[in-house]
Amino acid sequence: MKKKILNLEEKLLLNKIAGYSVLAGAALLLTPTVAKGDIVYVDPADIVVNNIHSLDTLDLDANGENDFILKHLRSSSTSIFIYSTLKMSGYYNNWTQTNKVLISNYFVAKLDSSVSISPAQTNWASDDEFCNLEYTYTGPSTFLRGNWAPNVEEKFLGVSFYIGVMRHYGWIRASVIRLGDGNGGQITVHDWAYEDDEGVSLKTGEGDVPLPSNYHILLP
């Protein structure tokens, strides 16, 4: 497997063209070249989900099709307790193939760096929870469960998703915090990477050369 490494001159060029404005009638569409077997790394502005019943979507390969959805849900089963859930779900591809997240002990797995994400792993789910946070109406949290409870800073998720009909493997770096006072929690997605070649594994944190988050840059 080959990783795309940019030299200093190339990095400076990317930074320069990312700052250009588009001149009418003189625009050229530029797409970064990613060879087979390369790791594509994306470093967007932080994506935050923290309002009750809020959600956001992730399009990992920027092809205009959502790959995953982040949710913050809350429900009340009694007059005393509020249940708050931070959740991640994979979209269906053509209704037959499902994007999935790696799980551990019935929750989204919390991974350190350099953990292999590969076809050899079998603990995948298309819909699972980071954590559950249980609150009383009048007080702080009384019950916490899940691999990401109550507070986790910059750990990794393992994901598998489809580009066309081909399955790809990747990682997402995220943080979770408990907000307290019955407000549930917050998910923050910092960055992600995936293997451009279908079915090829990679390690969490691998792919350390950032390309612009808007892959398609208009260059005058």
Q: Which of 34, 143, 133, 139 is nearest to 87 (CA)?
A: 133
CB 187 within 8 A of CB 18: no
Cis peptide before 220 (omega within 30 of 0): no
Question: In angstroms, how far apart are the furthest CA atoms of the chain?
Answer: 63
**Which pair of structure tokens corresponds to residue 11?**
């990095």
Task: Please give the model's pTM, rounded to 2 decimal places.
Answer: 0.74
Residue 2's pLDDT band, with cuts at 50, 70 and 90, is very low
Instruction: Provide the pLDDT for residue 72.
Output: 79
Q: Is 42 exposed, middle or buried (0-12, 13-18, 19+ CB in 10 A)?
A: buried
Q: What is the mean pLDDT of residues 123-141?
A: 72
3-state DSSP of the chain: CCCCCCCHHHHHHHHHHHCCCCCCCCCEEECCCCCCCCEEEECCCCEEECCCCEEEEECCCCCCCCCEEEEEEEECCCCCEEEEEEEEEECEECCCEECEEEEECCEECCECCCCEECCCCCCEECEEEEEEEEEECCCCEEEEECCCCCCEEEEEEEEEEEECCEEEEEEEEEEEEECCCCCCEEEEEEEEEEECCCCCCEECCCCCCCECCCCCEEEC
Query: Is 70 exceeded by the pLDDT of residue 62?
Result: yes
Where do the structural domains in the chain lie, given as residue ranges?
Answer: 38-210
**pLDDT, tens digit (0-9, with 9 covering 90-100), for 18-39:** 333 222 232 223 233 344 469 9
Where is pLDDT greater, at 188 or 53? 188
Residues 118 and 124: their CA atoms lie apart, in Å, by 11
Q: What are phi and psi of 122, to 5 degrees?
A: -120, -10
